[in-house]
Structure 1
Amino acid sequence: MAVTPLSLMFPGRSWVRWLLRRRRYLGVAAFGYAALHTVVYLFRKGSFGLILAEGAEPGLFAGWIALAILVPLAITSNAAAVRRLRRLWKRLHRWVYAAAILTFVHWVIEAYDPVPGLIHLAVLAALEGFRLWKTNRGRKRRPT
């Protein structure tokens, strides 16, 4: 999610081009981390009953929903899916923003110290705010 704003902030830089070429891999790696995080959680709980009992807690529920959103994004992160889904692919992958918000909700509620999660959220929000400002600044406003 940070690659596009960085490419707008630092156009033409070699490290930005490197990130842009590997954007898909970064997204799949984020899903891989979420999946591994979930597997470790499931093993540590050891009981399906405990998992179900905790599943309704707001922080964990946000994490489960974020993971559910990331699954179809990871499955469709390949060239064949882009060709097959066409315009729907972009619409589907915009769900990453909802997943990111839910991930930060999960992180802040469940963490022993919520400050790192809030710092990450602030940086990502600033980058996204810059992207929105940069892409909308040249557009004409419609009369109201």
Structure 2
Amino acid sequence: MDLVNAYIRKIPIGLVYALALTPAIFLIHAALTGGLGIDPVKKLEHELGKLALQMLIFGLAITPLRRWAGVNLIRFRRCIGVVTYVYLCFHLLVWLVLDVQILDQIWGDILKRPYITIGMLGFVLLTPLALTSNNRSVRRLGPKWRQLHRLVYLAAVLGGLHYFMLVKGFQLEPILYLTVIIGLLLLRVVPARRIQAA
């Protein structure tokens, strides 16, 4: 595993940013060229939301991967967090600007539709984390920085619930997302010796 981690340390952070944001480029291109079906706005909105949730899950997996598998991706955690928030902003902007468009209806949807209320709460929780994802904030906040960034756990659960409540009927994918999120959070509290003994 030392050899794997040695190769990981050689990967430029900029390359990770570029690779993580590449799906957005393909999505936008598909939306502009008619590749997203009969309702491209809704498709773009949903796919950006899924990408945000996938990045959030990836970020949550970094610590368990290091703890249980010895794979150290910690140096990419800030990058993944920033990309998660970028995708979330894209998802929100498509909903606000291209989907709903009417300010009164936006507020009405937030207040009356539980899945939108939960999604917006998750966005609100992640906003201070994104704004403090820099070295200056880490130095200024000290120990409080780590406490603040624990909000990501609640935001992840809210994101999974948002997706689960959004879909109509029984669909396996949102259940899997929510299950993975809960599983990754549980791995943070289960003692290592229990996992090793299993």
TM-score range, shorter chain: 0.7 to 0.9
RMSD: 1.7
Identical aligned pairs, as a percentage?
Answer: 33
Matched, 1:100 2:159: no
The residue identity in structure 2 corresponding to 1:78 is: N
Comparing both chains, which one has the higher relative contact order based on Cα–Cα distances under 8 Å and sequence gaps of 6 or more? 1
Matched, 1:64 2:135: no
Q: TM-score, normalised by structure 2?
A: 0.62
Please list every run of at least 4 consecutive aligned residues from structure 1 whose deviation after the TM superposition is greater than 4 angstroms. Answer: none
Q: TM-score, normalised by structure 1?
A: 0.84
- Cross-structure match for 1:117: 174
Write the distance in 2 (CA, Å) between the matches of 1:133 and 1:24: 25
* Aligned positions of 1:36-75 closer than 5 A: 36-43=90-97, 44-56=99-111, 57-75=113-131
Matched, 1:10 2:64: no
Conservation of the 8 A alpha-carbon contact between 2:82 and 2:130: yes
More helix by share: 2
- Cross-structure match for 1:130: 187
Conservation of the 8 A alpha-carbon contact between 2:88 and 2:123: yes
The number of aligned residues is: 132
- Cross-structure match for 2:19: none
Write the distance in 1 (CA, Å) between the matches of 2:144 and 2:75: 21
The residue identity in structure 2 corresponding to 1:117 is: P
Matched, 1:25 2:79: yes
Write the distance in 2 (CA, Å) between the matches of 1:6 and 1:73: 22
Q: Which moved more, 1:81-90 or 1:123-132?
A: 123-132
Write the distance in 2 (CA, Å) between the matches of 1:136 and 1:27: 29
The residue identity in structure 2 corresponding to 1:132 is: V
Conservation of the 8 A alpha-carbon contact between 1:108 and 1:115: no
Conservation of the 8 A alpha-carbon contact between 1:69 and 1:96: yes
Runs of 5+ unmatched residues, structure 2 = 1-59
Runs of 5+ unmatched residues, structure 1 = 138-144
The residue identity in structure 2 corresponding to 1:49 is: D
Conservation of the 8 A alpha-carbon contact between 2:161 and 2:178: no
* Matched position secondary structure for 1:132: coil
Write the distance in 1 (CA, Å) between the matches of 2:62 and 2:187: 12
* Matched position secondary structure for 1:133: coil
Question: How big is the shift at 1:96?
Answer: 0.6
Write the distance in 2 (CA, Å) between the matches of 1:48 and 1:136: 53
- Cross-structure match for 1:91: 147
